Amino acid sequence: MATYPSFVEAASEPPGYVVVTDDGDRIHFLDWDGAGAPGVVLVHGLSNTAWSWTSVARRLLAVRRVVAMDLRGHGLSDAPTGSYDLAVLGRDVVAVAEASVGADAAVVLAGHGFGGIVAALAAATLGDRCARLVLVDGGWADVAATADMDVDEFLRGLDEPPEVLSSMRAFLRDRRAFDPATWDDDQERAARATVVETAAGKVVPATRPHALVASVEAMFSYRPADVLPRVTAPIVALAATTRRPPPGSGMEVRELAAVGHNLMRYRPDEVAAAILDD
């Protein structure tokens, strides 16, 4: 297992930038800087933001150039009323990679959950410029075939109980309770980025409703059998769920015991090691 210099754990925040895509949409990313090639682009999951990668990013800075992006409709990226199909989302990742790491530079892509799906599309687009694809508990499953529900039912399952959204304090208390041992300032920053506090003191999800619906529809349209064979880079799958990649999928599978889906929070050392090919 790799070891990481203690200074990368310092309570610092990276600057944010935007890249304007060919269709005029602005995609926001955090530039953690760092040194070393190939550079790394981190893609968050559904209803999350670039800040969800903070614990991992701090572990990579000493040896890699690191950026973490906000998918369109999430975080500080634009939320157009259309254009959420997977090809467009994948091109957003490519645009961030080229604007930050370099147009011709090799890049490692890592995506969590829904972000794994998007990262896979980007890896297929980049071809030999993708040095490694890391799928963090997602990106290998045909959701439409395995979820045992339709898009509407899936969306209803994302609704938060009213008491959790009654105040920022209640929301953060709920998130901390997932696993108090891994709760710190970085996790609180990541949690706060997923909601907006209203004038009445309640919180509402920060992801725009139309963007969430369109993203889930895109997720249900994903066919890994059509995408993953087009990825020429080595693929590593980090599985915390029971739906691990099937045998013979052609990817390296690492099963991680964790309390939940967010492996960047619960197992950041192992996620960082997979990105570094350790």
pLDDT at 42: 98
Both tokens of 60, joined, read 């990579």
Other residues' Cβ atoms within 10 Å of the Cβ of residue 138: 29
Tokens (6 digits) for 192? 């706060």
In terms of residues, how long is the chain?
278
Taking the chain (278 residues) in runs of 10, the rounded mean pLDDT of each run is: 38 87 95 91 98 97 95 96 94 97 95 98 97 97 92 95 97 96 96 97 96 97 96 96 74 89 96 94
State pTM to two decimals.
Answer: 0.94
Query: Dihedral sign, CA of 11, 177, 206, 151?
Result: positive
Is domain 6-275 given the CATH code 3.40.50.1860 in the classification?
A: no
What number of other Cβ atoms are within 10 A of residue 185's Cβ? 9
Three-state secondary structure call for residue 17: strand
Beta carbons of 47 and 175 less than 8 angstroms apart: no
Residue among 203, 171, 201 nearest 187 (CA): 171
Name the maximum alpha-carbon separation found in the chain.
53
- 133 — phi, psi (to 5°)? -120, 125
Residue 75 half-sphere exposure, CB side, CA atoms within 13 Å? 27
CA 161 vs. chain centroid, Å, equals 24
What is the predicted pLDDT for the residue at 248?
65
Omega before 38 within 30 of 0, i.e. cis: yes
The DSSP string of 27-68 is: EEEEEEE---SSEEEEE--TT--GGGGHHHHHHHTTTS-EEE
Q: In angstroms, rounded to a whole number, what is the distance separating the alpha carbons of residues 129 and 169?
A: 44
Q: Which helix (H) or strand (E) holds 128?
A: none
The burial class, CB within 10 Å (0-12 / 13-18 / 19+), for 9 is: middle
Q: How far is CA 66 from the centre of its chain?
A: 13
Q: Which helix (H) or strand (E) holds 205?
A: strand 203-205
CA-CA distance, 135 to 255, in Å (whole number)?
A: 12
Q: What is the pLDDT of residue 9?
A: 46
Query: N- to C-terminal Cα distance for the chain?
Result: 7
Among 144, 170, 167, residue whose Cα is nearest residue 222? 144
Domain regions of the chain by residue span: 6-275
